Amino acid sequence: MSKLMTHGALGHPSKSEAPAHTAFTRARPVLSCPFHSRMSPQRDRLSARTSIGSDGSGCSTIRSSSPARAARFGELAARAYPDASLEVLELAAAWASWLFVRDDRCDEWGGGIEEIDGGESRVLSDAAEAGPDPLKAALADLRPRLVRLGGDAWMGRFVRHLAEYFDACAWEEQNRRSRRAPDVTTYVE
């Protein structure tokens, strides 16, 4: 049986036995993680450099006021890969940044994912021209770094998996538009 701790509306432990807002108070199990939290010693260097084009190759950087900057992708990468080189950490942070910005763009676009998905897989698979789209330009910037670290065979698998991800996003958007929730069996397939 786990110990229970009373938490307030914001998830903070209550300071009294009888919280003022009992409607927002609930009992939660105290979670314990037996593993020591580790952080890359490169975190501060990485956080200062985190952007979509983190190597300064002309891709747009994430403004300090943007939600993407607030997400602290450098810190995320430093915590997820505490033993990785700065090059790998920059790539992980740039990839997370790219996915975040792309997801936001899909949400803001309004027309759905189909309209903005044209050519992203090609930019990664065969270094196709990115054109004026800054999101595709950022992806084109990521490609040589991905190939350098993973190799051609890995890159081929990555592109196939990314295409499957894009297909799943388009399917999700179609379901959302038609207000349809797939059953569990269909969803798991």
pTM attached to this predicted model: 0.67
Contact by Cβ (8 Å): 46, 93: yes
Mean pLDDT of 118-135: 76
- Picking from 103, 113, 91, the residue whose alpha carbon sits closest to that of residue 158 is 91
Q: Name the pLDDT band for 15 (thresholds 50, 70, 90).
A: very low
- Picking from 62, 65, 1, 64, the residue whose alpha carbon sits closest to that of residue 27 is 1
**In angstroms, rounded to a whole number, what is the distance separating the alpha carbons of residues 86 and 90?**
6
pLDDT at 57 over 50: no
Q: Other C-beta atoms within 10 Å of 117: how many?
A: 17
pLDDT at 56 over 50: no
**In angstroms, rounded to a whole number, what is the distance separating the alpha carbons of residues 78 and 65?**
21
**CA 18 to each of CA 5, 12, 179: distance values in angstroms, whole numbers, following the listed order:** 13, 14, 42
User: Which tokens go with 73?
Assistant: 């992708």
